[in-house]
């Protein structure tokens, strides 16, 4: 009996230690059962600390650092370093009155943040380019681990110091408050990119979660789970990945369907994460900005970027495009600024030529759209005022332009891009369509459901949200249980990380 008890105790201790250990193959993500279990326990103690703001802040910081440790291991210290560095730089920047000294401090912040990002994300990319220019073996590739979400918290930290430099924000008095802002776990690893001026005023407000906030949070979490764990993961594992891995094994019809599938996959994956992040933040009493607004309803490329990854597009606008001169220095300079902004936006997504080409495609498209607006006086910048006929044409054109970009974004190499385009234009083979749809019936049904839900009017989304908000707590819990059961029925054996974890 004693041995059995000790065996059970040892097993419990091993499992507890497993929860504390970092496992690169098992990151802690919102759609995992482990996170949902831990978050339920976290929320219980969080509510108990609702009257003690300082203790609550420290508690959230500790959980956030644990959450990031489970994603990136010892590199959670990099996050602490970034918070410490910009906290002290911001203090010096605020106290300094001399313009040259202020420029020096903000330059130091930019250098530290972009230096970290450059080393971890672009070192091997630059080595590869050097080897292509000067011969193989000119430089040796480095074994560098890319910390999850480094691009997100670097951009957040930069917004803080730059806004202080612009005198749009005063620095925080407490280092813990700044660490709380930078490490807040709902948006830590994949956004949205929350501006300091929007988030900081909420840190020390009395904790208040209204019934509406709670209901909206539950709705967004359930929506995000459905998008990520049911639609995105299923069509990715069962169709999209197969097509992109071996495009010559598939007809042009299947390759085109694979591109349409990836367009839905990346939207459901990323917007699903954003929905869950915004929903979790609401349950904790914090408001995040909207990050997606049905982007495939866009009738122009300009409107697409008003709807897709809104926190990134507005960040690039405010901290890159406008400082470059925006549209204030003539038409040609405006086009160049757009192209440069999107090229750098492409590089932000990844250190590869295909991401640069993806950014270039969108930059050229945005510039051409601006040029179109100049020569066609009655054209609309966003497509919102178009007649229904022209709007449908615009939506179809914009969607396929975006899909061309997604092809470059997803393909492992430009050779894969070339092969898939060859299959589409030279080996389409309509005759196999019924057989393919029958063979991948579950995939095509989920793709149809995903696109139909995406294209529904906003009123339908608001009505569904109001139904969840107005439901009793017991019904909301039941909805969550049903959603989790559905996820368990179709999930794969391995955890599927969010696509934007790599950025």
- Rounded-to-integer distance, Cα 457 and Cα 465, Å: 13
- Alpha-carbon Rg for the chain, nearest whole angstrom, is 24
Establish whether the linkage from the previous residue to 192 is cis, with ω within 30° of 0.
yes
d(CA 476, CA 468): 7
Burial code (b: 16+ CB inside 10 Å, e: under 16) for 7-21 equals eeeeeeeeeeeeeee
| Structure tokens given for 370 | 């601006």
Token pair in block for residue 116: 């970290």
Residue 350: how many CB atoms within 10 A of its CB?
20
CA distance 141 to 389: 53
The sign of the CA dihedral 329, 330, 331, 336 is negative
d(CA 451, CA 454) in angstroms, rounded, equals 5
Helix (H, G, I), strand (E, B) or coil at 293: coil
Q: Dihedral sign for Cα 363, 369, 372, 373, please.
A: negative
CB 187 within 8 A of CB 275: no
Does residue 300 contact residue 381 with C-beta atoms inside 8 Å?
yes
Distance of CA 472 to the CA centre of its chain: 31
Is 362 catalytic? The answer is: no
In the set 8, 287, 349, 426, the catalytic residue is: 349
**What phi-psi label fits residue 139: left (phi over 0), alpha (psi between -120 and 50 degrees) or beta?**
beta
Q: Which residues are catalytic?
A: 349
């Amino acid at each position: 009996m004693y041995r059995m008890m000790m065996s059970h105790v040892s097993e419990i201790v091993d499992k507890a230690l497993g929860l504390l250990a970092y496992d690169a193959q098992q990151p802690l993500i919102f759609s995992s059962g482990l996170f949902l279990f831990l978050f339920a326990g976290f929320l219980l103690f969080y509510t108990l600390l609702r009257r003690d703001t300082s203790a609550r802040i420290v508690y959230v910081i500790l959980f956030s650092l644990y959450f990031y440790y489970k994603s990136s291991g010892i590199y959670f210290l990099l996050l602490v370093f970034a918070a410490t560095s910009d906290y002290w730089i911001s203090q010096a920047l605020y106290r300094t009155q001399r313009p040259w000294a202020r420029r020096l401090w903000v330059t130091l912040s930019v250098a530290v943040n972009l230096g970290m990002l450059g080393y971890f994300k672009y070192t091997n990319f630059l080595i590869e380019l050097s080897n292509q220019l000067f011969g193989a073996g000119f430089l040796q590739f480095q074994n560098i681990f890319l910390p999850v979400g480094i691009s997100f918290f670097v951009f957040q930290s930069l917004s803080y110091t730059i806004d202080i430099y612009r005198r749009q924000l005063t620095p925080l008095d407490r280092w813990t408050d700044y660490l709380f802002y930078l490490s807040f776990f709902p948006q830590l690893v994949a956004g949205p990119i929350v501006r300091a001026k929007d988030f900081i005023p909420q840190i020390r407000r009395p904790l208040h979660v209204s019934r509406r906030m709670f209901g909206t949070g539950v709705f967004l979490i359930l929506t995000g789970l459905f998008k990520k764990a049911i639609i995105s993961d299923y069509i990715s594992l069962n169709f999209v990945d197969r097509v992109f891995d071996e495009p010559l094994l598939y007809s042009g019809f299947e390759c085109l369907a694979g591109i349409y599938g990836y367009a839905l996959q990346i939207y459901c994956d990323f917007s699903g994460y954003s929905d869950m992040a915004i929903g979790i933040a609401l349950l904790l009493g914090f408001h995040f900005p909207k990050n997606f607004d049905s982007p495939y309803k866009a009738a122009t490329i300009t409107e697409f970027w008003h709807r897709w990854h809104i926190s990134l597009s507005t960040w690039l606008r405010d901290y890159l495009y406008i400082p470059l001169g925006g549209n204030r220095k003539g038409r040609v300079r405006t086009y160049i600024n757009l192209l440069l902004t999107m090229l750098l936006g492409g590089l932000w997504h990844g250190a590869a030529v295909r991401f640069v080409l993806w950014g270039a495609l969108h930059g050229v498209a945005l510039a051409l759209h601006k040029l179109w607006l100049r020569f066609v006086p009655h054209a609309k910048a966003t497509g919102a005022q178009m007649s229904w006929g022209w709007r449908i044409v615009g939506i179809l054109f914009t969607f396929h332009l975006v899909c061309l970009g997604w092809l470059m974004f997803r393909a492992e190499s430009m050779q894969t891009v070339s092969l898939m385009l060859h299959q589409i234009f030279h080996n389409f083979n309509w005759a196999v369509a019924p057989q393919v749809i029958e063979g991948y019936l579950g995939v095509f049904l989920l793709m149809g459901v995903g696109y139909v839900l995406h294209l529904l009017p906003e009123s339908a989304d608001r009505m569904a949200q109001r139904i969840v908000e107005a439901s009793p707590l017991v019904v909301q819990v039941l909805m969550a249980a049903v959603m989790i059961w559905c996820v368990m029925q179709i999930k794969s054996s391995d955890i599927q990380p969010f696509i934007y974890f790599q950025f």
